[in-house]
Structure 1
Amino acid sequence: MQTPAPDLSQLKDIHLPSPVTDLPIAFGWWLLLTVFILLTIAGIIYGLKRHEKNKTKKAALLLLSQQYEQLKKHKDTQVFLQQSNEVLKRYCLDKYPEAASLSGDAWTSFLNRQSKKTYFEADVGKAISQGLYQPQCEYDTQTLFSACVSWIKNNKESSND
């Protein structure tokens, strides 16, 4: 025997659950959002510092290159020695304020301590430490230029980031 089908009019409506709201979100999502925001801020700060450091380095290298081109035109090695030393000193003052009062052998020792390799020894070191105070100084301008460029690119402060 078959049981009679219930009358459709006797069926009740389906009760839907209450709608899900966007807030409040679970604690884990708040934590994830906080970590994301903090990492974004840290990345922006790191990027700005790195950009500023690279800007200083690029400016020093550009100035050094311009001075080397001037040397090729005018052949004044004493002026190039003074200008190269000035670029190094200005770059160092930005990165190492304690270098402000250094001169002579203390200056070249400082430069060599702040790099992975000693760029300022022999003729170049003597020119930087003593040649500034002499009317004429004999040194290899290409070696001095290369030493200055290499030091700016490879000093210890440059490798910290």
Structure 2
Amino acid sequence: MQTPAPDLSQLKDIHLPSPVTDLPIAFGWWLLLTVFILLTIAGIIYGLKRHEKNKTKKAALLLLSQQYEQLKKHKDTQLFLQQSNEVLKRYCLDKYPEAASLSGDAWTSFLNRQSKKTYFEADVEKAISQGLYQPQCEYDTQTLFSACVSWIKNNKESSND
């Protein structure tokens, strides 16, 4: 005996479920996206501050180098002392506003306090603190130049940065 064949016309169509959407995304993905955006913004701000700090440092070092080259041509040690001191003062005013009123021994003490080590030897320190107020001051120009460059490159950072 044979069983009758089922009638295919009685079968219903297959209904697929509605497609899964990408939104709304789960809370964890929102959290991850927020953290990523915040870290990106913080990185950009940090990079801009660092670039600005390095820009000031590079400008001061370039100016010192130009003045040293000018010294080699014109042999005016008094002018070089004045210009070097001016570059240090301008650099410090950008980083340490409290340095504006300092001069003499207070100025050189301030410079030594703001660095991790003492870059200005006794004769250079004396030239910076007192040489600006004397008609002629004897000091080693190479030592002054090296001390200024080293101080700018290596001074400890201000709490403002």
Q: Measured at CA, do residues 61 and 3 of structure 1 come closer, stay the same or move farther in structure 2, by a change above 3 Å?
A: farther
Cα offset for 1:121? 2.8
Task: Decide which moves more: 13-22 or 68-77.
Answer: 13-22
Q: Measured at CA, do residues 118 and 2 of structure 1 come closer, stay the same or move farther in structure 2, by a change above 3 Å?
A: farther
Q: Measured at CA, do residues 150 and 158 of structure 1 come closer, stay the same or move farther in structure 2, by a change above 3 Å?
A: farther
Q: Determine the C-alpha separation between the residues in 2 that align with 1:2 and 1:44.
A: 80
Q: Determine the C-alpha separation between the residues in 1 that align with 2:84 and 2:8.
A: 97
Cα offset for 1:18? 1.3
Percent same amino acid at aligned positions? 99
User: What is the total number of aligned residue pairs between the two structures?
Assistant: 161
Could you list the runs of 5+ residues in structure 1 that have no partner in the other structure?
Answer: none
> Is the CA contact (8 Å cut-off) linking 2:95 and 2:158 kept in structure 1?
no
SS at match of 1:160: coil
Task: Decide which moves more: 139-148 or 19-28.
Answer: 19-28
- Say what the alpha-carbon RMSD is for the aligned residues: 2.0
Task: Decide which moves more: 15-24 or 136-145.
Answer: 15-24
TM-score by length of 1: 0.93
Q: Output one character per residue of 1:41-62: Cα deviation in whole Å (capped at 9) or x when no partner.
A: 0000000000000000000000
Q: Output one character per residue of 1:121-143: Cα deviation in whole Å (capped at 9) or x when no partner.
A: 31111110111111000000000
Could you list the runs of 5+ residues in structure 2 that have no partner in the other structure?
Answer: none
In the alignment, what sits opposite 1:74? 74
Q: Measured at CA, do residues 149 and 4 of structure 1 come closer, stay the same or move farther in structure 2, by a change above 3 Å?
A: farther
Q: Measured at CA, do residues 123 and 4 of structure 1 come closer, stay the same or move farther in structure 2, by a change above 3 Å?
A: farther
Cα offset for 1:16? 1.3
Cα offset for 1:157? 1.1
Task: Decide which moves more: 133-142 or 5-14.
Answer: 5-14
Q: Determine the C-alpha separation between the residues in 2 that align with 1:78 and 1:3.
A: 120
Q: Measured at CA, do residues 117 and 128 of structure 1 come closer, stay the same or move farther in structure 2, by a change above 3 Å?
A: same
> Is the CA contact (8 Å cut-off) linking 2:96 and 2:158 kept in structure 1?
no
Q: Determine the C-alpha separation between the residues in 2 that align with 1:119 and 1:94.
A: 20
